[in-house]
Structure 1
């Protein structure tokens, strides 16, 4: 099967979507599929990735709010690329403009929309949640729901990675929603990587002794991740118990977070950790993962922490909250630093997490591509 992924969020310096796409390319090759990722780039070009895997860049302008990314602005060029590729199945990986471009393409191939973003949770609910109930916010953002309902009529499948997001989409009237959870890189994360010496070093970097609680956080430093709220929660908990936080990631919120941290020695911004083996050791050596974003569509960070044997301290909503399934996990009221601080203090250091087999990304792609093949067979028969 030839699969074309129109991936508006893919960028060489990107985060979760880049990780997802890179794994998809390898999985497609292993499962015998031909795959092309069409992404917005600096210029028109094709990047070969071995076998029948490639990235086709279409010249596109930079995204003004984050110049690491670009965005599709030429529907004719995208349609011409799809015509030339002649796919058996087409994906759109953003619910915005590119999804409409793919919906309007006149080709016969079936298509799926991958919900890599939850704009209502990331923006509308976060901005207005303190002054209005969600049904009221949904009414004011009825144009977005209508946009999704229109896409639902043009796509054969809308893929959500978390049960919570799937429920909300279905409650909003969408009929093509399918839940296919993601997973972690196989063979990377494990509780066996716990390193007492590394743990002491991380605590020492937070000016804390070995008997303190070490929290780790992981993700892009952007406003919707609510890292400022997480930092406030950790500092509040630290007034009552020795608690340190190592926050791994980079992004435009870093200066704001550094100002918030100020002279507090117990919270450290560690920057990006691109060495996956080191990242896995750091996760396994912490006492818990804390996360702040209620708008995650899956939350790879929480999945990697679970695979590393960590308890989760996460908001009650969104993909992160959906992953808090163990009795040792803690869920707090979304957006509340006070509740998050109480959740931190309620989690005793050295908590033993029941071992669960980790779902890996290969499971996700096998299920996803199998669904594509089934839809393509039905379409062909019709």
Structure 2
């Protein structure tokens, strides 16, 4: 709610507020807004440059690693990556003291992104990757799925939690979310290796089906973690955004690849995507609506192409369904406030506060 002096003066005239408190209250609110905006991203030229520069610096880590290894070896890469990360933390602290919250958060994020690089170099120094055919370069971490990346991922998560507790900027959750996403893929080969007692083909037969199930569950766990974070930070900045995004990518990606050609499986997938749309509407998270909408379009497209390609009745049903959804939207727009208020009275206080804050 935006308050103006006229609003406070009206409250004073009505006897609700002491007129002598108006100036002090305005000064306090102005100072609080300035402090909040220091770490809050906005779509402006300055912030675009901040984030573009940060992403370029993070992406350059792979090239930095390759050149350092070719020139100096893994031992030097370990030392350089640790010094690079410490320097990034030092710059983040200095920027935070100057009130530059967003670039401070970006440098702290860079430090987190350098952790797997340092662990990768340490593993090579210790001979851990001696038989790893897909770990000649650090860039393989972003290209290949291998269970031995898990130690790097766990180290990154630990460093991310520590730095997030120190700096408290939402952008720091981005490398944490990406790492959880990677872990969701890498943990499957580790489980398959233990179950198979040796090397297994993870993209064929029963192993491929198990991979999809585990990815689906892992994505769901990420979404639950994101919801818990969202609930805890409902009065603060949005720390759950990146967790929601990569949790959805893991969950929805596995969901889209699951199921057989049977109609029942397609309908279950369709129902889950519809559920994502409604969940996004309830939580005020558009990404749920986007993923769910794409999933609905994919399922309906698959049905129309494979099962009902010669059926005019299916076309008629889709048309009527579309019209029904539009009519429902019109009806809902007129009653949304009253229905939402009535439903929210049935929810726990914390969940009501979350929905009000995010809406």
TM-score by length of 1: 0.27
Relative to its length, the structure with more helix (as a share) is 2
Larger radius of gyration between Structure 1 and Structure 2: 2
Q: Which fold has the larger relative contact order, with Cα–Cα distance below 8 Å and residues 6 or more apart in sequence? A: 1
Relative to its length, the structure with more strand (as a share) is 1
